[in-house]
Amino acid sequence: MPVATPETYAAMLDKAKSESFAFPAINVSSSQTLNAALAGFAEAEFRQIADWIVEVVDGLAANGADGNAEVEEKVKAEVSALCARFPLYADM
C-alpha cells in the first residue's frame, strides 16, 4: 500500500471537506494493530467506520457536548460487534 505524499494527503482532505465526507481512522498503537487492521478490514468495514464517525459527529454538532446518547450507544454496540469479527489475539 503506497504512502500518500503531503500534497496527495492535502488533496484528499480538501476533497473530503468539499464533498462532506470523512475518512475512516484507526488508532494504531503498534505495528501489530496496523497489520491486523490492514489485513482484516475491507472497503465495507472502512466505509462503516466512516459512517459511524459521521453519526456521532452529527449528534455532537446538533446537541453540543451532550451528543446523542441513543446514537452513541448504537454505534458502541456495532463497533463491539465489528471488533469481535477481527480479534487481535485468538484468546481474547
The predicted-structure confidence for 8-43, as pLDDT tens digits, reads as follows 888 888 888 888 887 777 677 777 667 666 666 777
Structural domains in the chain (count): 1
**Joined grid coordinates for residue 67:** 451528543
Verdict on whether the full-model pTM lies above 0.85: no
Is residue 14 a part of any domain in this protein?
A: no
Mark 26-44 as b/e (b = at least 16 C-beta within 10 Å): eeeeeeeeeebbeeebeee
Is residue 91 a part of any domain in this protein?
A: yes
**Largest CA-CA distance found in the chain, in angstroms, rounded:** 44
Query: Which residue from 49, 47, 75 is spatially nearest to 60, judged by alpha carbons?
Result: 75
Is residue 88 a part of any domain in this protein?
A: yes
Is residue 55 a part of any domain in this protein?
A: yes
Instruction: For residue 70, name the pLDDT band (cuts at 50, 70, 90).
Output: very high
Is residue 25 a part of any domain in this protein?
A: no
Is residue 89 a part of any domain in this protein?
A: yes
40: left (phi over 0), alpha (psi -120 to 50) or beta: alpha
Q: How far apart are CA 9 and CA 51, in angstroms?
A: 20
Domain containing 91: what range? 39-92
Is residue 53 a part of any domain in this protein?
A: yes
Is residue 76 a part of any domain in this protein?
A: yes
